[in-house]
Chain A
Amino acid sequence: MGEIDFSQPKYYTNRELSWILFDHRVLNEARDKNIPLFERLKFLSITASNLDEFFMIRVASLKDMVNAKYEKPDIAGMTPTEQLTALSIAIHNLVDLQYSTWNRSLVPKLAQSGLTIIGSHEELSPEDGEFVDRYFEENVYPVLTPMAVDSSRPFPLIRNKTLNIAALVQKKNGKGELEFATVQVPSVLNRIVLLPSEGKARRIILLEEIIERNMHKLFLNYTIVCAHPFRIMRNADLTIEEDEAADLLKEIEKQLKKRQWGEAIRLEVEEGCDKRLLNILREELHMEEENIYAIDGPLDLTVCMKMYGLEGFDHLKTPKYIPQQVPELPAGCNIFDAIREGDILLHHPYQTFEPVVDFIRQAARDKEVLAIKQTLYRVSGNSPIIAALAQAAENGKQVTVLVELKARFDEENNIVWARMLEKAGCHVIYGLVGLKTHSKITLVVRREEDGIRRYVHLGTGNYNDATAKLYTDIGLLTCAEPIGEDATAVFNMLSGYSEPLAWNKLALAPLWLKDKFLYLIGREKQHAKEGRPAHIIAKMNSLCDRDIIAALYEASVAGVKIDLIVRGICCLKVGIKGISENITVRSIVGNFLEHSRIFYFENDENYEIYCGSADWMPRNLERRVEILFPVDRPELKEKLLHILQCQLKDNVKASVLQADGSYEKPDKRGRSQFQSQEAFCHEAVLAAKAATEDANTVSRTFIPEVHH
Chain B
Amino acid sequence: MSIRTFAAIDVGSFELTMKIFEFSGKNNMREIDCISRRLDLGSDTYSNGKISKEKLDELCRTLKEFSDIMRSYKVEAYRAYGTSAIRETENTTIVQDQIAQRTGIRVEILSNSEQRFLDYKSLASKGESFRRIIEEKTAILDIGGGSIQLSLFDNDTLVSTQNLRLGVLRIQEFLNRYANRTSRIENTIQEMAMAQLNTYKKLYLKDREIQNLIIIDDYISPCLVKLTGKDRDKTVIGTEAFNDFADRLRESNTVQSAKMLGIAEERVPLVFISAVLISRIAELMEAEHIWVPGVTLCDGIAYEYAEKIKMFQGEHDFEQDIIACAMNISKRYMGSRKRSETLESISTTIFDSMKKIHGLGKRERLYLRLAAILHDCGKYISMVNIGETSYQIVMATEIIGLSHTEREIVANVVRFNHSRFVYYGQQITSSLDRESYMIVAKLTAILRLASGLDRSHKQKFKGLKAALKENQLILTIDTQEDITLEKGFFEDREEFFQEVFSVEPVLKQRKNL
Contacts and interface: CB of A to CB of B under 8 A. Distances in A.
Nearest to B227: A502
Contacts, number: 54
Nearest to A450: B24
B71 interface: yes
A488 B37 contact: no
Interface stretch (A123-131, A212-220, A491-499): A491-499
B185 interface: no
Given A370-B74, A447-B74, A451-B3, A497 B30 contact: no
B263 to A, nearest CB: 9
A398 interface: yes
Given A497-B35, A498-B37, A501-B294, A451 B72 contact: no
A51 B1 CA distance: 62
A417 to B, nearest CB: 22
Contact of B72 (A371, A492, A504): A371
Nearest to B31: A485
Interface string B375-402: 0000000000000000000000000000
Assign chain A's interface to a size class: 20 to 34
A247 to B, nearest CB: 19
Interface in A23-64: none
Contacts of A450: 1, 3, 24
Contacts of A371: 72-73
A73 interface: no
B36 interface: yes
A685 B192 CA distance: 75
Contacts of B32: 451-452, 488
Interface string A479-507: 00000000011001001111011101000
Among B22, B37, B72, B226, max chain A CB count under 10 A is at B72
A497 B37 contact: yes
A694 interface: no
A138 interface: no
A502 B226 contact: yes
Interface in A41-99: none
B38 interface: yes
Contacts of B38: 498
Contact of A398 (B1, B15, B68, B230): B68
Given A371-B72, A501-B226, A449 B35 contact: no
Assign chain B's interface to a size class: 20 to 34
A398 B225 contact: no
B36 A502 contact: no
Interface string A369-385: 01100000000000000
A488 B32 CA distance: 9
Interface string B445-463: 0000000000000000000
B258 to A, nearest CB: 11
A452 B22 contact: yes
B33 interface: yes
A451 B30 contact: yes
Contacts of A500: 34
Nearest to A488: B33
Nearest to A448: B3
Nearest to B68: A398
B144 interface: no
Contacts of A498: 15, 36-38
B127 interface: no
Contact of A370 (B1, B36, B73, B230): B73
A489 B19 CA distance: 12
A427 B69 CA distance: 11
Contacts of B294: 501
Interface in A415-455: 427, 445, 447, 449-452
Contacts of A501: 222, 225-226, 230, 294
B229 interface: yes
Nearest to B225: A501
A375 B391 CA distance: 61
19 contacts: A370-B72, A371-B72, A371-B73, A398-B69, A398-B72, A449-B3, A450-B1, A450-B24, A452-B5, A488-B32, A492-B34, A496-B37, A498-B15, A498-B36, A498-B37, A501-B225, A502-B225, A502-B226, A504-B230
Interface of B: 1, 3, 5, 15, 22, 24, 30, 32-38, 65, 68-69, 71-74, 222, 225-226, 229-230, 294
Given A452-B32, A501-B230, 20 more contacts: A370-B72, A370-B73, A371-B72, A398-B68, A398-B69, A398-B71, A398-B72, A447-B74, A450-B3, A451-B3, A451-B22, A451-B30, A452-B22, A492-B35, A496-B37, A498-B15, A498-B37, A501-B222, A501-B225, A504-B230
Q: Return the 4 tightest CB-CB contacts between A and B, nearest first.
A: A398-B72, A498-B36, A371-B72, A452-B32
